[in-house]
Chain A
Amino acid sequence: MKLETNTTRARFRAITDNAVTLLAVLATVLVIAPLVAIFAYLIYRGYSSLSLDFFTRIPKPVGEKGGGMANAIVGSGILLALASVIGVPIGIGGGIFLAEFGRGTKLANSIRFTADVLNGVPSIVMGVAAYALIVSPHVRYLPILGHFSAFSGGVALGIMMIPTVCRTTEEMLLMVPHAVREAALGLGVPNWRSVLSITVRTASPGIITGCMLAFARVAGETAPLIFTALGNSFWSTSLNEPIAALPLQIYVYAISPYDEWHKLAWAGALVLIVLIVLAVSLVRYVTSRGVLKGAS
């Protein structure tokens, strides 16, 4: 085999190398560009449409100026609170099982796998399932079932939170060093107490941020609410009635032909994104600072 001394070949390799570097940089720029464009336009359109009315008034009929999304903001809050009540405890419980009891077992592995797969199920499917389970007129076991309601929307969102919360809780608990558990058990603390007061508490910043991540994710969900919470242009805080939600209201306004409503949609989108970015940044901050590192 002849050693390579061909300079054109060497030059070709060098050029390829540079070209690929350039392409990779270009790809990164192309990916960041829409992000910047979305945020810039969102702030530009949203900020000019925001006003105090947006937070304090309910929507006005078509043609009238003004109006806000106070009912949608409150409605989103109610839906998310309900979703958290359902999703957070069950999700944390599942995470505790995966990390503390089922480590390495087949059952835990299959649950982990199912949770990951469930995370990828489209939210619209959750909506259809929640519709069939709660909203469909055939369901008449309880007075709260059988019609569109805030309750059904909250349940749909809560179910969506479970796999996310479960997996992040597990990951955070796995980071807690074994010595901490052993120390607790060595002092004679019962296992449940050791898990709740020692392991979970040590990992609690991580678990809370995981919950916030799930919260931020469902906060922007629209598809599952279409068939469940339905939306409402009036004040309603009852769990038994259709309720307005911020993403749903943005959707309805965005596809409407009225300029006044488009403005409100942009303002709503800005409010939503600010909430989500805050949550995500907090998560990023906490995980990168390594709150858990102090324990190890």
Chain B
Amino acid sequence: MIQVPETRISPPQQRHELQSAAAQQIDSASPKASEIRNFLLHRGNSALADRWFHVLMLLCALSIFGIVLLIAGELTIGSSLSWGQFGFNFFFKTYFDPNTHLPMYWDPVNGHFSALPFVYGTLVSSFLSLLIAVPLAIGVAVFLTEMCPGVLRGPLAFLTELLAAIPSIIYGLWAVFVLVPLLRVYVNPLLTGSLGWTGLFSGDNPTGLGFVSAAVILAIMILPIISSLTREVMIAVPHSQREAVLALGATRWEMIRMGVLRNARIGIVGAVILGLGRALGETMAVTMVIGNTPEIHRSLLANGASMASVIANEYAEATSNLHRIARTVIGLALFVVTILVNAVARLLVWAVTRGAPARSR
């Protein structure tokens, strides 16, 4: 008789001991059971392998924490050397040229650095792009989830996904050679003519580069992210909600407004914030069309610069140590801001879609 111990519940830590105990019992019970003994001992070895495997996979997973800490650490060390010199004021202060008394922000020659115009540029271009992208993205999501005939749904969703897969550099290339000339010739004069009195669209910028161009290309780039997440959130709204509203005699739009959008609003806000995060850090396309002048103008048609664009644009010119450090500080600021924005957005989206049966991919 072989008596194998009760192993119905055996956590991996205990399995090894149980198995060797079982092997010993077999040994004493019958010498002929060497085959079973070998088998059980082999299992004992694999329990050790299991533990190693577990640890290895854990390390891989923990590397994600490691990466975040590494980036944060590297950027902090890289910028801490200068913290005494710049301080938090780095993001707010303005210098004045002693001769012309014009504001100066970014003057590598004289070692004056202030991130104010870049913060301004990033905020203005991102919010402008959200202004353009959000209504369109929600429109697309509503169309795809609630109105679209089934035949079109797949291809259209694929096309919007494709929009997300196009690299930033190709958007930039297209913007420089197609979008900017278009805006310069047709849209900018229109804006100046109709809204020039606000001061926001005044001045003639012969290049066509500037905040408006940057915002339009950014809007095109963040649209797919916002719309696909909005779609995901809207799909997660239970059908009973829609049916209940329809049963009360609502039209389709009223059903969408009361049954779907109202239930999904937190997730939609999350999607928009996620789009904002993408817009804040978008580099190549913005660098190519924003104009790259570290100045602050009231007009949105004027040239500007963003935090990401100044980092990308001055890679070759960063000769002095201070210049390089100033760039690292901007990088750190961008990192912290995008981490916060993304964290908030993810939490909002998760709050809605968690536990939802539908997965929209």
Interface: A121 (CB within 8 A): yes
Q: Name the residue on A nearest B78 (C-beta).
A: A132
Interface: A102 (CB within 8 A): yes
Also in contact, A27 and B139, with CB within 8 A (given A97-B60, A116-B342, A288-B154): yes
Mask for A259-296, Cβ within 8 A of B = 1, else 0?
A: 00010011001001100110010001001100000000
- For A273, the chain B residues whose CB sits under 8 A away are 166-167, 170
- For B163, the chain A residues whose CB sits under 8 A away are 31, 34-35
Complex formed: what's the CA distance from A195 to B57 in Å? 11
Count the A-B residue pairs with Cβ separation under 8 angstroms: how many? Answer: 270
- Closest CB in chain B relative to A20 CB, distance in Å: 4
Q: Is the CB of A247 within 8 A of B167?
A: yes
Q: Report which residue of A121, A159, A166 has the largest number of chain B beta carbons within 10 angstroms of its beta carbon.
A: A121
Complex formed: what's the CA distance from A114 to B65 in Å? 7
- For B280, the chain A residues whose CB sits under 8 A away are 122
Interface: B177 (CB within 8 A): yes
- Closest CB in chain A relative to B120 CB, distance in Å: 18
- For A20, the chain B residues whose CB sits under 8 A away are 142, 252-253, 256
- Closest CB in chain A relative to B141 CB, distance in Å: 9
Name the prevailing secondary structure of the A interface residues: helix
How many A residues touch the partner, as a band?
35 or more
Q: Is the CB of B165 within 8 A of A277?
A: yes
Q: Is the CB of A191 within 8 A of B53?
A: yes
- For A60, the chain B residues whose CB sits under 8 A away are none
Q: Report which residue of A28, A133, A219, A227 has the largest number of chain B beta carbons within 10 angstroms of its beta carbon.
A: A28
* Residues of chain B whose beta carbon lies under 8 Å from any beta carbon of chain A: 12, 39, 43, 46-47, 49-50, 52-54, 56-65, 67-68, 70-71, 74-75, 77-78, 135-140, 142-144, 147, 154, 156, 158-163, 165-174, 176-178, 220, 223-224, 227, 251-254, 256, 274, 277-278, 280-284, 288, 308, 311-312, 315, 327-328, 331, 334-335, 338-339, 341-343, 345-346, 359, 361
* Residues of chain A whose beta carbon lies under 8 Å from any beta carbon of chain B: 13-14, 16-17, 20-21, 23-28, 30-32, 34-35, 37-38, 41-42, 45, 89-94, 96-98, 100-102, 108, 111, 113-129, 132-133, 136, 159, 162-163, 166, 171, 188, 190-193, 195, 216-217, 219-223, 226-227, 247, 250-251, 254-255, 262, 265-266, 269, 272-273, 276-277, 280, 284, 287-288
